[in-house]
Amino acid sequence: MISMIGLIGGLILLTVLALRGWNLFIAAPLCALVVAFTGGIPLFPGETEHAFVTTYMQGFSGFVAAWFLMFLLGSLFGKFMEDTGAADSLARWIINKIGIKHAVAAVVLACAVLTYGGVSVFVVAFSVYPMALGLFKDANLPRRFIPGALAFGSITFTMTSAGSPEIQNWIPVKHLGTSPYAEWEVSLIVATFMACMGFWWINRMIKKAVANGEVFEHRDTDPAIKERDFPHPITGLLPLLVVLLTSFIFHDSLAQYALILALLGGCLSIMLINHKYFHDRSKAINEGTTGALIAIGNTAAVVGFGTIAKASPAFAVAVDAMTGIPGNELIGAAIAVTTIAGLTGSASGGLSIALPVLGPYYIDQGVDPEQLHRISSISSGALDSLPHNGYIVTTVRAICGETHKSAYWPIAALTMAVPVIGLVLAVVLMQWL
């Protein structure tokens, strides 16, 4: 009982500290210490198998060792797209084609194309936000919905879909021996459903807000859209296609390592195609490297918290309860991965913790690995976007300058409620198809 109280209390504390702006390198191990103390895990190694210091760092370093090259190349690819203006050019072209009458759809589609092409969700948010701000201003729409539009286009139907180069679609490849295109038919249906439902929901929320008198509010700190010599939009699209095609060609022979080759190909292609449009190549490399270290460090810090949680007695009780849910095994897997991703506040962190434990169990129960892959991927993108999620905090506060109070509930509807409904649809379809 004390261990369960500590586990739940540690999660609540992590959420509160993240909302208060605490650095995850401090908040995550501090909260993990609470879980360890209540779970009877000693601070330093001794006679017992688990100790806080070694267990936390094994989770932290294990995640870094497994995924650093993917994070590094993904961050560099995003920074190259940003520094050359290729991301802005492609996003601007999409937005101009759709126009002000469909401002929300333009923002979401621009984010979706860039994200599905392998650009980091953080770079996508930074690139699209100034143009989204201009569109919402011209359409006189409440700006507090911009974070929701950015998040919906980046971390829902694109992030967890079959073929996506995002890490949430590739972690199951490592643990289940599957393909990034696992259950692509179901994935296509679910992604289309999530996109349509999300479009309907965000437009409904905005119309209701406008009817209540909400309008766009200008701020003196609003960034201006950068004016520069942009490359042709096709030069932004081609590197995305290189990433997608390379991962498709080599995913069978290289498994999860195909993602390294794909992102490397994207970096090289944009350096070749847009070499004369680099604003400051050295700065882009330095910022991309630093960004990769921060991104994987934040995620690894949360994975370390989850590793301590996994070592606590309460975690075993929770897993037994979830795997003991009567009925279809996919339902139990969906609930388990969703819960653990929510616990860690990270889709990638949740998958890295859940699949080594749950994958062998459900495969031994006769669950199709391809189905488990897709259910796990979609599940990871449901409750991961709780208020303490790193992407949510960065997008709401640092990029959009909003508060959780004003902007978070549209995000919750679009990035948690919609994926949960999509997850239910996926489970149902897998029983029928």
Q: What is the mean pLDDT of residues 116-121?
A: 86
Residue reference for tokens 């349509």: 196
Do the beta carbons of residue 380 and residue 371 sit within 8 Å? no
Do the beta carbons of residue 408 and residue 389 sit within 8 Å? no
Residue 428, pLDDT above cutoff 90: yes
State the DSSP H helix or E strand holding residue 159, giving kind and residue range, or none if neither: none
Do the beta carbons of residue 180 and residue 164 sit within 8 Å? yes
Residue reference for tokens 């944009």: 270
Give the model confidence (pLDDT) of 305-344 as tens digits: 888 888 888 888 877 777 777 778 888 888 888 887 876 6
Residue reference for tokens 């909400």: 214
Residue 352, pLDDT above cutoff 70: yes
Residue reference for tokens 């897998």: 430
pTM as predicted: 0.84
Could you give the CA distance from residue 197 to residue 213 in angstroms, rounded to a whole number? Answer: 25
Residues 6+ apart with CB under 8 A from 275: none
Do the beta carbons of residue 84 and residue 278 sit within 8 Å? yes
Cβ density class 199-233: b for 16+ within 10 Å, e for less: bebbeebbeebeeeebebeeeeeeeeeeeeebbeb
Written as six digits, the tokens of 173 are 């490849």
Residue 130, pLDDT above cutoff 80: yes
Could you give the CA distance from residue 81 to residue 73 in angstroms, rounded to a whole number? Answer: 12
**C-alpha dihedral sign at 113, 118, 123, 127:** negative
Do the beta carbons of residue 270 and residue 79 sit within 8 Å? no
> pLDDT higher for 388 or 251?
251
